[in-house]
Amino acid sequence: MRAILRSTLLAAAASLLLASAATAAQPDIVKFQINFSETFSDCGFDAVHTTIGFVTVHDFFDQTGTLKVEIANFSFTETFANPENGASVRTQDVGPNILTVSKDGSFTVATIGLITNVVVPGQGKVAGESGRIVASFDADGNFIGVVFVAGPDDDFLAAICEVLA
């Protein structure tokens, strides 16, 4: 689960950081589409994870024009698929990400809201995460770790793997 969350957070964080340009402490607001796919093998077989949606980014700068806080409101549909057998499952992710930059350039990303909700037709909800997850990154954008979790935190990777098998 953390590998998928990490890749989603990394992609979102990288997109968010690239979306802003400091302009004399004025907040920037940018809206853009997200559409990316990646292959992962955490289930013991290759599966494809696709994320489609949008992000509206609000960047706030200090008096010198340095990014301090970024609030990104997002709405994603994530699809997990097994190309070998055609099985797939979708989940909606909605809520804000709040990126806070430290003086040394490291940053945290707090993902808040409905993070994932895996519902299988005929079975109902099989896993979900909601609430708040805070991940930390170094100044180069490298993932350090998850530093805080609040709210339901089911093992959604196991649920996804079971559905895709």
Strands (E), 82-123: 88-101, 107-120
Domain, as residue range, for 10: 2-34+53-76+91-164
- Tell me the C-alpha distance between 134 and 148, whole Å: 5
Query: Which ranges constitute the DSSP H helices of the chain?
Result: 2-19, 156-164
Q: How far is CA 133 from CA 9, 26, 112, 157, in A?
A: 10, 28, 7, 16
In a domain, 18, yes or no: yes
Q: Give per-residue pLDDT as tens, 1-52.
A: 444 444 454 445 545 554 444 444 678 899 999 999 999 999 999 999 999 9
Question: Are the beta carbons of 38 and 7 closer than 8 angstroms?
Answer: yes
C-alpha of 83 from chain center: 23
pLDDT digits over 85-143, tens only? 999 999 888 889 999 999 999 999 998 988 888 888 888 888 888 889 999 999 999 99
Q: How confident is the model at residue 147 (pLDDT cuts 50, 70, 90)?
A: very high
CB-based burial label for 112 (10 Å; 0-12, 13-18, 19+): middle
Q: Is 86 inside any structural domain?
A: no
- Is the residue at 82 inside a domain? no
Which one, of 31, 41, 45, 38, lies nearest residue 10 by Cα? 38
Whether 83 is in a domain gets the answer: no
Q: Is residue 97 situated within a structural domain?
A: yes
Establish if 45 belongs to a structural domain: no
In a domain, 41, yes or no: no
Residue 20 within any structural domain of the chain: yes
Domain count along the chain? 1
CA distance 134 to 150: 9
